Amino acid sequence: MAQQLVNGLMLGSIYVLVAVSLTLSIGILNFLNFSIPGLFMLGGVLTWLMIKLGFAWPLAAITALLAVCVAALVVERFTYRWMKGSDPEVPLVSSLGFLILFENLMLVAVGSDQQAFPQVFADFNLRIGGLLLGGPQLISLVLSIVLVVMISWVLRKTRYGRQVRAIAEDPETAGILGIDLQRIVPLVFIASGLLAAIGGVLFAFNYLQVSPFMGEEVGLKGISAMIVGGMGNIWGAIAGGLLIGVTEVFSIYFLGSDFVDIVVYGVLLVLLILRPGGLFGRVEQREKL
């Protein structure tokens, strides 16, 4: 049982990065960026492509992350900025279009099959008592928590963070007060895209497979984690991501893989019925960053 809990936390760390990425977008900009699962996928697939071309894995990962930064800026330019004066649904549908575009570009580049990702790390495990901790998975968990703590610190303790929170509270008033939205908003897109892409890279290193559609299921779990944790709440996104990871692993352990989605989404549905605002949110109003 304890081993399954550890495995669930390791898996949940990937969901945490995607959930926090989505939380930054909706908590600051009130914009659910559906391209984030595509950016997650680009992180993993582009790293695989660069390694296949002969690049060392650190350079491959860095190049993939830089490419995702460019992709995030393109999404910002042609969804949020260009269409922010239109109905709220229009930018959302546009971001969904970018998800489909990214998936099909990679479909043409690598094909529809899952690709085996090379094992770049030596197979090392840690034993603590009777628990077996996979080295790469443990690194992913620690890195995920460190990244989220850093994001939270920046938002609450720095000048940039105060500007971001002002935009989250009221963009028009923030602009009147002299905050440069044209500079801050793209940085938010880059930060959320990077978190998602890092999640994709870690997923590839841990589970040794990539595909053009690898972001879809993880994206659904990330959205679910964000909602269950409390919309717009970073710590809620962490709790939601870890909860989903643990629930998924335990459902496989006790019932088998055929029941994973039934159990995971059933549990989330019950939680939302009991607490509609999420674990760390408010029922009457979404909590802001």
Domain positions in the chain:
2-121+132-274
Instruction: Return d(Cα 269, Cα 263) in angstroms, integer.
Output: 10
Confidence (pTM): 0.90
Give the SS3 label for residue 114.
coil
Q: Tens of pLDDT along 20-52?
A: 999 988 888 888 899 999 999 999 999 999 999
Give the SS3 label for residue 265.
helix
**What are 219's two structure tokens?**
């994206």
Residue 124 confidence class, pLDDT cut points 50, 70, 90: low
For 202-210, what is the mean pLDDT?
A: 91
Contact 186, 69 (CB under 8 A): no
pLDDT of residue 285 exceeding 80, the answer is no
Angle between helices 57-75 and 36-52 (to 10 degrees): 150
Instruction: Return d(Cα 280, Cα 167) in angstroms, integer.
Output: 21
Task: Count Cβ atoms below 10 Å from residue 59 Cβ, excluding itself.
Answer: 12
pLDDT of residue 284 exceeding 60, the answer is no
Q: Tens of pLDDT along 50-103?
A: 999 999 999 999 999 999 999 999 999 998 888 776 676 777 888 999 999 999
List the beta bridge partners of residue 132.
127
The count of C-alpha atoms lying within 13 angstroms of the C-alpha of 96, restricted to the half-sphere facing its C-beta, is: 7
The mean of the pLDDT values for the chain is 87
Instruction: Return d(Cα 38, Cα 59) in angstroms, integer.
Output: 21
Of all residues in the chain, what percent carry a pLDDT higher than 70?
Answer: 93
What pLDDT score does 209 carry? 93
What pLDDT score does 186 carry? 92
Q: Top-level CATH class of 2-121+132-274?
A: mainly alpha
